Amino acid sequence: MTYLRRRITHFFSTFSIYNFLLLAFGLPFLSESLFLFFRQSLLNSLYHPFYFVLFLALVFLYGNFFSQLQSNEKLFQNFSLKGAFVSFLFWLVLSPLFFFRFYQLLLVWRPLPADVLSFLFLYRWKILPVLLLLYVLLLYGLYRVILVPRYLKRGLTLKESIQLSREKTKKRPVKQLLIFFLIPFAFLATSLLVKLGFIGLTRLLVSQSGAMCLLLLYRVVQNSLWALFFLYLAASDKKVVDKEAPNKASIVWLSLTVFACLGLYTLQYMQSFTTQRPNTPISISHRGVSGRNGVQNSIAALQKTSSQYHPDLVEMDVQETADHQLVVMHDEDLQALAHKKLRVDEATWAELKELTLEENGYTSDIPLFSDYLAAANEINQKLLIELKVTDKTKATILQQLLPLKEQLADHQLQSMDLDIANQLKERFPTWKVGYILPFDLLGAPKNNLDFVNIEARTANGELIRNLQHQKKQVYVWSIHSKQQASIYPYLHVNGLLTDDLRLLSHYGDDIKGKTASILQFN
């Protein structure tokens, strides 16, 4: 505990209040202005490759300021071109953390090729951990050379600077490694918790002025948190700063910068309060249940949910068996619901129809899709049908839909496999067909489908705005709270999927939901 207290005390002695405020308000003012400019330009289809140069200039500015703080010098004092370039590269590697929403904006409006994105989505649990590990290793390598810009400014060669930095950062490797991983993770986790905490506080709001104060306070807290993270990175092997008082001109300029930054945030939030009005998304029962009222994807749950809650759509899942029968089942195997180590695409219909599924205190058999579809048509319940494909069923599953073509005409279909979704639209151009995004951090692949179903936990406003700009409908899955349900109508999404339809019972233009929406998506 004494060691930790000593480290914290030393950290706060390595920077001045002036530099802290400059980081909390000055640089954020520039980055926020540039981000808003990029967003508006993209919304108006005015993107130009030169914009990327502006972003690199912003990264260079951060890198140069980082080098200045490392050396306890004034801006451009003892300027070193090599040092500036190394700092720029350093911050270019860090930019996915500090400028994540710039990358998100670019990936949304200039997405990766559809085949690449589809491949990443389908094999995300294998690919993304590897990419994350490689990035972490890259960050650790960066940490070992973090002092290079400082030594370059002292006139040392690049080789000498790298050697000195590696020597300085190799002491107590286990402890340094733990600090390297834990401190950044603590900053990121704290930033997320702050956001969730402020969204929770919106429940207490009663007026727009209170909401405005809450939003500005949120920005100040988040900016301060990231300023401290920036200063932590610059404080490596740094001595105590001689905190001389800034001159009057510096104080005036800093004051103007703080007011300009807060003014920009205020104007942005006032515009959101003025222009945002909620719509009424359609209600969609996730897997045909609501409030644990049956076994997911069972005919009994479909009938009960439709009769009691009258959802606009009932979402359900279809898979193909080994003998080419379509059955209604979400999981690829039967372990969770039937306690059997058996895959749907490896089992025959004769095997599956003998099984009993158990969930929420109810039991059910596995229905054929044709029976489920007939039951839905009998009670005039529209379906949102997800085709779940595997390597074994991808080539044949669409063929099994042909005998049901007439019965499917009034329903909607979707798939997490983009190729299957595209084939569906080509074969049945009059059907409403959509694509399911498993997560929303990389944007959506370009397609000619009718809607995109995005995942709620990683949903972002830029993606929703982009899809709407393409005249596509947007569904969101899955909603788990009334507050979450109140946020999305302000972005005019078209449908909300939930396991509890009671959460979607009320949409109102209230200050709580509007403020929570701004916090979530701006």
Q: Is the pLDDT of residue 402 over 70?
A: yes
Helices 27-43 & 100-109 angle (0-180, nearest 10): 10
Q: What is the pLDDT of residues 166-193, one digit of tens each?
A: 888 776 666 666 666 677 788 889 999 9
Structural domain ending residue among the three candidates 240, 275, 310? 275
The SS3 of residue 77 is coil
Mean pLDDT of 90-111: 89
Categorize the per-residue pLDDT at 132 as very low, low, confident or very high, splitting at 50, 70 and 90: confident
342 and 248 in one domain? Answer: no
Backbone angles phi, psi at 314, to 5 degrees: -115, 120
167 and 32 in one domain? Answer: yes
Residue 183 lies in a domain: yes
**Residue in this structure with the two tokens 């959509």, named with its chain if needed:** 434
% of the chain with per-residue pLDDT over 70: 93
Residue 227 lies in a domain: yes
348 and 247 in one domain? Answer: no
Residue 431 lies in a domain: yes
307 and 234 in one domain? Answer: no
* CATH (domain of 391): 3.20.20.190
Q: What average pLDDT is seen over the chain?
A: 89
324 and 244 in one domain? Answer: no
Cβ(314)–Cβ(339) below 8 Å: no
- At 71 the pLDDT is 73
| Alpha-carbon gap, residue 101 to 89, rounded angstroms | 19
27 and 172 in one domain? Answer: yes
What's at 67, amino acid-wise? Answer: S
Q: Is the pLDDT of residue 145 over 90?
A: no
Residue 81 lies in a domain: yes
Backbone angles phi, psi at 145, to 5 degrees: -115, 25
What's at 472, amino acid-wise? Answer: K
| Alpha-carbon gap, residue 226 to 167, rounded angstroms | 28
Q: What is the pLDDT of residues 460-477, one digit of tens each?
A: 999 999 999 999 999 999
- Domain that residue 108 falls in: 3-275
| Alpha-carbon gap, residue 205 to 33, rounded angstroms | 28
361 and 496 in one domain? Answer: yes
Q: Is the pLDDT of residue 345 over 80?
A: yes
Categorize the per-residue pLDDT at 306 as very low, low, confident or very high, splitting at 50, 70 and 90: very high
269 and 310 in one domain? Answer: no
Residue 517 lies in a domain: no
Residue 518 lies in a domain: no
302 and 168 in one domain? Answer: no
Categorize the per-residue pLDDT at 435 as very low, low, confident or very high, splitting at 50, 70 and 90: very high
| Alpha-carbon gap, residue 408 to 411, rounded angstroms | 5
Residue 519 lies in a domain: no
Q: Is the pLDDT of residue 238 over 60?
A: no
Contacts of 339 (CB under 8 A, 6+ apart): none
Task: Determine how β-strand 282-285 pairs with β-strand 495-498.
Answer: parallel
The SS3 of residue 166 is helix
Structural domain ending residue among the three candidates 275, 308, 335? 275
**Residue in this structure with the two tokens 């004034």, named with its chain if needed:** 74
484 and 463 in one domain? Answer: yes
Higher pLDDT, 65 or 261: 261
Categorize the per-residue pLDDT at 247 as very low, low, confident or very high, splitting at 50, 70 and 90: confident
The backbone region for 310, taken as left when phi is positive above 0, alpha when psi lies in -120 to 50, beta otherwise, is left
- At 179 the pLDDT is 64
427 and 289 in one domain? Answer: yes
Structural domains of the chain, count? 2
Q: Is the pLDDT of residue 360 over 90?
A: yes
Q: How far is CA 361 from CA 99, 299, 488, 501, in A?
A: 48, 16, 32, 19
Q: Is the pLDDT of residue 489 over 80?
A: yes
Categorize the per-residue pLDDT at 327 as very low, low, confident or very high, splitting at 50, 70 and 90: very high
Q: Is the peptide bond before 272 cis (omega within 30 degrees of 0)?
A: no
- At 202 the pLDDT is 95
Give Cα 517 distance to the centre of its chain. 14
- Residue 464: CB atoms within 10 A of its CB come to 22
Contacts of 467-473 with C-beta under 8 Å, sequence gap 24+, read: 468/492, 469/43, 473/434
335 and 366 in one domain? Answer: yes
